[in-house]
A and B are shown apart, each in its own frame.
Chain A
């Protein structure tokens, strides 16, 4: 009796995939961010602290009875505490931050109290941009932002890269996009 075959069987394969042979995110070596990035973060916290001190001084000198009000001292103390936590938090989280580019996706790890590893498949990237703020620019730093569908803000940004490197990464990802777009 002839063996029954269907035309679609010819191209269809269904080999078993060994889960142990899958590329694992555990093996990825994350690249650290530039040390100058920590300095820019320290400057940002320093500027924020300076603004608070100036605002408190203006209130103390120019507003009647402000110097007698405990609310001024309490809120000033709380804000200083927040800035201190931010300063320490930046220091600790900087050591834990890192990124990795793989053939098919990008990884970015951040966070101190809650550590978050973001993984973005390249075939889902809509567009890429490079950004740098005024402080970052002075240190020759930039960040790469990746946009996917549904992300209202660019919630995938690799910060603390050398500006040149940021542009190189943008170029590399843009080139990859042409190869990795989903099948029609």
Chain B
């Protein structure tokens, strides 16, 4: 009979990250430096080589500074790596870090609500993963391990989830005995064709503005570096533009093409290889090409559930699901997770995990009060739009017309919101259907409510209508312009359900 030693429990002794972490921390630090100092680096690279006379002395100085920075970065990386250890002891996950400033972070295993594995492009090349934890404690605890071998990361994830689940299993009252933890109930993947349609139907106008803001930012930095004379540049190019209308049209076309390509690439990179798995206690999501993410979202963390579709995507029946949940810290942070959905059946499956009552048919719901768009007509249309517009027309002609058009758009938008808005309540919560051009469904469970606000402006008071705001730990749901009497009844009913049932909100 052999007397084999007892196997040591998993992760019980302090251990370092994978050696690949050294490289990843280094790249992170260098890219952080590069982000902050890139204008200075540009000056160094281009300006110092410009004038050969001054070059040698100044150039040497810059090289020494650069070398000093590199040495500090390298030493900091090595110290960070060697002094970062993690282990599991007495039911807690412990991370020790720092050399001069020592820091010990301890998270009780039963407080761990989610373990995320992330693989950026570097992680994928080196076959490692970044591990980060969500905890339910009210302190702001954020723990992440930059690089662990993929096998070890998965083992750690399984171990942490099992231990946190085991504790929770004893507390959980709503789980059936025959449902094993981590049992896969449902899984769906986004095919490449669906990804292409999703990317092509993105809101390219939004991408256009992001690009515009980004280019202004970079342009500002370049100007500071090279001391460019903006007015001169604009004068030169404006003259060129005036000379040819075709050139101007070409420029707009080019910007539009760049915007479409940009938003297309952005979405392909973000949702590449998207998979969502419904397990017995939460959703597991994995997606991304350059920044591969694995997220586990336990059902109770979701506070509000929404799914929306823009004007074009509606035609293809493509929706984006938004899980509005509590984040890293229970008290402070909110978290929004967006995922693509391509079938109504999938929406129903996901929504049933949050609210079991069937999704209402918009045509059977209640409408909001007509005063919602009448207010828009009076304020945006007449008081802010038409009156100043007519007055200003004799002074600044084209600008006044643009102003009136913008205000008219606001009125029409408000009219369409009024026209399509529907809502309904049930014993579990509130369901809303809204949108002027696109469409959005919102589900809220009464048990998730933290506060209710009933607001009335002077116009609403005269019309005896009110707006209700339901505040949750993941965000807010607004039900606008409903009759005051109904609003009060709804407050009474939802309060009764929150206070009498006394259900957990997470």
Quick one: which of B173, B451, B455 contacts A120, CB cutoff 8 A? B451
Do the beta carbons of A183 and B502 come within 8 Å of each other?
yes
> Scoring A residues 16 to 28 as 1 if CB is less than 8 Å from chain B, else 0, what string do you get?
0101001111100
Do the beta carbons of A17 and B457 come within 8 Å of each other?
no
Cβ-based interface call for A150 (8 A)? yes
Query: Chain B interface secondary structure, helix, strand, loop or mixed?
Result: mixed
Q: Known contacts being A113-B458, A118-B453, A156-B451, is A148 close to B471, with CB within 8 Å? A: yes
Instruction: State how many angstroms separate the Cβ of B334 from the closest Cβ of chain A.
Output: 6
**In the complex the two chains form, what is the Cα distance from A119 to B451 in whole Å?**
6
Cβ-based interface call for A117 (8 A)? yes
Instruction: State how many angstroms separate the Cβ of B55 from the closest Cβ of chain A.
Output: 44
**In the complex the two chains form, what is the Cα distance from A26 to B485 in whole Å?**
9
Q: Which of A66-74, A77-85, A121-129, A165-173 contacts B (4 or more CB under 8 A)?
A: A121-129
Do the beta carbons of A119 and B491 come within 8 Å of each other?
yes
Do the beta carbons of A19 and B331 come within 8 Å of each other?
no
| Chain B residues close to A by CB (< 8 Å) | 138, 171, 173, 303, 326, 330-332, 334, 449-458, 461, 471-475, 488-489, 491-493, 495-496, 498-499, 502-506
| Chain A residues close to B by CB (< 8 Å) | 17, 19, 22-26, 104-105, 111, 113-124, 126, 147-152, 155-156, 180, 182-184
**In the complex the two chains form, what is the Cα distance from A184 to B503 in whole Å?**
8
**In the complex the two chains form, what is the Cα distance from A50 to B200 in whole Å?**
58
Q: Known contacts being A151-B450, A183-B504, A184-B504, is A115 close to B455, with CB within 8 Å? A: yes
**In the complex the two chains form, what is the Cα distance from A150 to B332 in whole Å?**
6
Please, could you name 19 A-B residue pairs with CB atoms under 8 Å apart, sorted by A? Answer: A23-B492, A25-B491, A111-B455, A114-B457, A117-B453, A121-B498, A123-B499, A123-B502, A124-B505, A148-B451, A148-B471, A149-B331, A150-B303, A150-B471, A151-B471, A156-B451, A182-B505, A183-B502, A183-B504
Question: Which 7 residue pairs of A and B lie closest in terms of their CB atoms, listed nearest first?
Answer: A150-B473, A149-B473, A104-B499, A148-B450, A182-B504, A117-B454, A22-B492
Do the beta carbons of B471 and A182 come within 8 Å of each other?
no
Report how many A-B pairs have Cβ atoms within 8 Å. Answer: 106
Quick one: which of A111, A149, A155 contacts B505, CB cutoff 8 A? A149
- A117 nearest CB neighbor, chain B only: B454
Instruction: State how many angstroms separate the Cβ of A33 from the closest Cβ of chain B.
Output: 19
**In the complex the two chains form, what is the Cα distance from A182 to B454 in whole Å?**
24
Instruction: State how many angstroms separate the Cβ of A150 from the closest Cβ of chain B.
Output: 3
**In the complex the two chains form, what is the Cα distance from A121 to B475 in whole Å?**
17
Quick one: which of A117, A150, A182 contacts B502, CB cutoff 8 A? A182
Instruction: State how many angstroms separate the Cβ of B410 from the closest Cβ of chain A.
Output: 19
